[in-house]
Each structure stands twice: as C-alpha cells, then as structure tokens.
C-alpha cells in the first residue's frame, strides 16, 4: 500500500493536478469500477464534512474553525443520491448487456441500447458532484 | 507489486488526481487508492467479491454522509 501511495504521489508530481476520471471510451465494468472507486474519494470528503460540528448561526467555516452548514450537507446528500442512482443504472445495464455474466443468458436489448446514454448521464452527475464537493468542502478533488 | 511508470503515465491525469486526494484525505481513502492502483496500473479487474466489498464500502460512506448531526432538524438524542 505504501508503495502504491508513493507511486501515485510520484505521478502527481509528474502530471500536476488533474480532474476526476473522464468517462471516455467504451463502457466496461473496469471503467465503472474505476469511476466508483474514484467517486469514493469525493464521498469521503463529503462524509468528513458532514461529521464536522455544525456552524453556529452567522459563523463561517475557516481553517481555524472547521464547521459545516446543514443546508450544504443537504445539497451534498442530494447530489450523492443522484450519483448512486446513476451508478446503479449503469451497473444494471452492464449486467444485462454481458451474456457471460452469471445468471444472464440473453441480452436485454432495450437495456443495452441505453448503456451509452446512461453512462453519459453518470458522467454528468459526477461532474456536478465534483463541483459541489469542491465548493462546499474546500477539498481540491 | 511491480511498478510500471509507463502504465502510470498513460493514465497520469487519473492517477495524479487520486494521489492528490490521497494526500488530502489520508488513510481513509487507502482502500480506494489501492483498488485504483490495481485496476489502472496493474491492469487487473476486480473480482466479484472485491466489487461487492467496494460497493459495501461506498454504502458505509453514504451512511456517514446521511447521518444526522447534533443541531440538525432530523437529529434525535442517542444517534
């Protein structure tokens, strides 16, 4: 694990700050797994933000006083709910489209045809989630 | 674990982003960074069990995000 962190840190120095993974190319289970694992970093930041003490009325969060706004938490929760639903939809599409998967013997044509559009929708809600999480938590993600 | 710089550079943007996140959020994201390292750098696919564990970890984070805190309208004593 330490080596993985070291390798990642080295790559960061080489490449500079980057965005979350761009959902480009063919839709595959591996790509969805990467997107999910990457999103967990956003979700970690959001969960950490929720666990801060709530800011007192009229009080702003600062580095010296890390508090959270309830209304901002509500927004993070709503965005996350959209992302979760989108992940589930793409996973359902992939399950139905891959006849090699256990329990799937025929392709569900209707579901397969929506895979690309559902993946695009996922990219959209992930972008919204990234922006909201960055703005609210202050994390450089 | 064999380190392949070419494989990393091919996905530099993704990996750089994760490295940045890992530094900021610390060990809490270690499982996800390790998972990404396996998929992106080692070019390994997750097993069904690993995927299930990953989704369970995501659900646990979601529970933390949705947990009411003291002062919230939906917070009740003892939560």
% pLDDT > 70, chain A = 71
* Least trusted range by pLDDT, from A63-72, B5-14, B46-55, B58-67: B5-14
Chain B hits for A104, Cβ within 8 Å: none
Give the pLDDT score at A12.
41
A vs B, Cβ pairs < 8 A, gives 167
Distance (Å, rounded) from C-alpha A84 to C-alpha A13? Answer: 32
Instruction: Give the residue with greater pLDDT, B11 vs A81.
Output: A81
Predicted confidence band of residue A127 (pLDDT cuts 50, 70, 90): very high
Point out the residue among B34, B39, B57 whose CB comes nearest to the CB of A30: B39
pTM (two decimals): 0.74
Q: Which residue of B has its CA nearest to A67?
A: B69
Distance (Å, rounded) from C-alpha B7 to C-alpha B14? Answer: 12
How many of the other CB atoms lie within 10 Å of CB of B20? 21
* Least trusted range by pLDDT, from A45-54, A61-70, A95-104: A95-104
Dump the DSSP string for B15-62: HHHHHHHHHHHGGGGHHHHHHHIIIIIS--PPPHHHHHHHHHHHHHHH
Q: Rounded mean pLDDT of A103-122? A: 70
Q: By the 8 A CB rule, do B4 and B41 touch?
A: yes
Distance (Å, rounded) from C-alpha B61 to C-alpha A47? Answer: 6
Chain A hits for B75, Cβ within 8 Å: none
Determine the Cα angle at B56 with ends B7 and A101, to 5°: 70
Longest distance between any two alpha carbons in chain B, whole Å: 54
Point out the residue among A4, A9, A73 whose CB comes nearest to the CB of B34: A4
What is the nearest CA distance from A1 to chain B, expressed in angstroms? 6
Predicted confidence band of residue A102 (pLDDT cuts 50, 70, 90): very low
Distance (Å, rounded) from C-alpha A130 to C-alpha A69? Answer: 18
| CB–CB contact A38 B36 (8 Å) | yes
Q: B29-74, pLDDT tens digit by residue?
A: 777 777 777 777 777 888 888 888 889 989 999 999 999 999 899 8
Chain B hits for A7, Cβ within 8 Å: 3, 8, 15, 37, 41
Point out the residue among A18, A37, A50 whose CB comes nearest to the CB of B54: A37
Chain A hits for B55, Cβ within 8 Å: 36
Chain A hits for B9, Cβ within 8 Å: 11, 14-15
Most confident of A24-28, A74-78, B46-50: A74-78
Is the backbone of residue A103 left (phi > 0), alpha (psi -120 to 50) or beta?
A: left
Q: What's the DSSP call for residue A58?
A: T
What is the nearest CA distance from A9 to chain B, expressed in angstroms? 5
Q: What are phi and psi of A69, to 5 degrees?
A: -100, 130
Q: Which residue of B has its CA nearest to A29?
A: B45
**Which position has the token pair 């994760």?**
B18
**Which position has the token pair 């508090």?**
A67
Q: By the 8 A CB rule, do A34 and B14 touch?
A: yes
Q: Is the pLDDT of residue A23 over 60?
A: no
């Amino acid at each position: 694990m330490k080596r993985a962190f070291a390798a990642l840190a080295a790559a960061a120095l080489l490449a500079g700050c980057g965005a979350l993974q761009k959902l480009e190319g063919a839709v595959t289970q591996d790509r969805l797994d990467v997107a999910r694992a990457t999103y967990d970093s956003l979700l970690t930041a959001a969960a950490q933000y929720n666990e801060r003490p709530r800011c007192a009325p009229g009080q702003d969060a600062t580095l010296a006083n890390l508090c959270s706004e309830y209304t901002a938490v509500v927004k993070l929760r709503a965005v996350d709910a959209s992302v979760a639903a989108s992940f589930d939809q793409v996973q359902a599409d992939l399950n139905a489209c891959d006849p090699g998967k256990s329990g799937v013997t025929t392709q569900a044509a209707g579901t397969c045809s929506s895979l690309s559009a559902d993946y695009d929708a996922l990219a959209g809600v992930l972008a919204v989630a990234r922006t909201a999480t960055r703005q609210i938590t202050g994390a450089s993600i | 674990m064999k380190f392949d710089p070419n494989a990393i550079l091919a996905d530099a943007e993704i990996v750089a982003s994760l490295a940045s996140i890992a530094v900021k959020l610390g060990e809490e994201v270690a499982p996800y960074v390790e998972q990404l390292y396996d998929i992106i750098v080692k070019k390994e696919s997750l097993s069904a069990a690993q995927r299930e564990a990953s989704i369970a970890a995501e659900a646990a984070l979601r529970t933390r995000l949705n947990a009411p805190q003291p002062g919230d309208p939906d917070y009740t004593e003892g939560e």
